Structure 1
Amino acid sequence: MNTNIAIAGGIVLAAVVLLIVNVQSPDTAYSNLDLFAKCLTENNAVFYGASWCSHCNNQKNMLGSSMSFIRYVECSASDGRSQTEICRREGINAYPTWKFSGKAVEGELDLTQLSQYSGCSLDLIA
């Protein structure tokens, strides 16, 4: 009987540990990506995109809810065909375009590239 209690207790303990790990892991990853996104903004990174742009949407999905910390400029005018004045003035010719302290980089960037261009450490995500 003591063996059965020990086995049952071990199973319950293992289930609780797995539950805690699974519940905490997404929150930790989320907050770490928030730190990276905040660093991008602090280091003057600006993301220029268009609502209809699939590569821009991929970029937004990669950043997830941490997009709320990214300085994002929508370049598509309300008619969906023309460009907003700020994007014309900034010389945005392709989507997505990132600017890092004024230097433009066109195309979809992964986290490693964002780190390299911005100086934000990927250690913030780990």
Structure 2
Amino acid sequence: MELTKREKRKLRLEKLRQESHQAQAEHEQRLQQQSQFQQQKPTKSKYYAIAAVIGIIILATAAYSVYSLNKSGPYDNFAKCLTEKGAVMYGAMDWCKYTQAQKAMFGKSFKYINYHEFPELPGIKKTPTWVINGAWHENVQSFDKLSELAGCGVV
């Protein structure tokens, strides 16, 4: 049985409609996938916002570090007075826990102490050793004792 021209045309049109619907469905599916991908992908403005927050954190940390380094210690005047009066501390900072403890007592103010490693003065048997007014004082010394020996007031 042979199809008429009209039936053939009708079949072709039906086939074209089906292909068109299928192509349209595929196109809509691609658009939906692209929109999902764009929603998942952070935008440039999000990257800029994150970078700005990180930058602010870094700047704040740097500013606080500079402030902390420049902030005076509680015993600055006492440590300066000891040095002015000629007090010298000899120790072994690398391995002696007592020298490290004496340093820790001064905290940031230790930078004003006249400190030397013990081999610089022959005859030292214990560390830390303070030399104040020509007298040797071995072991960790309290602030009261150092104040008494050097004539400096502890603030």
Same fold (TM over 0.5): yes
TM-score where L is the length of structure 2: 0.51
Matched residue, 1:115: 147
State yes or no: 1:42 paired with 2:42.
no
Structure 2 unaligned segments of length 5 or more: list them: 1-70
Query: 1:87, CA displacement in angstroms?
Result: 2.0
Query: Computing the radius of gyration over CA atoms, which structure comes out larger, 1 or 2?
Result: 2
Which has the bigger relative contact order, CA under 8 A and spacing at least 6?
1
Matched to 2:87, the amino acid is: A
Post-superposition shift, 1:109? Answer: 0.7
Higher helix share: 2
Q: CA RMSD in A?
A: 1.4
What SS is found at the alignment partner of 2:75? Answer: helix
Structure 2 matches for 1:1-126, cutoff 5 A?
A: 30=73, 32-51=74-93, 52-75=95-118, 84=119, 86-88=120-122, 91-122=123-154, 125=155
1:118: how far off?
Answer: 0.8
Residue identity opposite 1:69 in structure 2: Y
Question: Structure 1: how far apart are the matches of 2:108 and 2:136?
Answer: 24
* Runs of 4+ that moved beyond 6 A: none
Q: Secondary structure at the match of 1:99?
A: strand
- Matched position secondary structure for 1:48: strand
Aligned length: 84
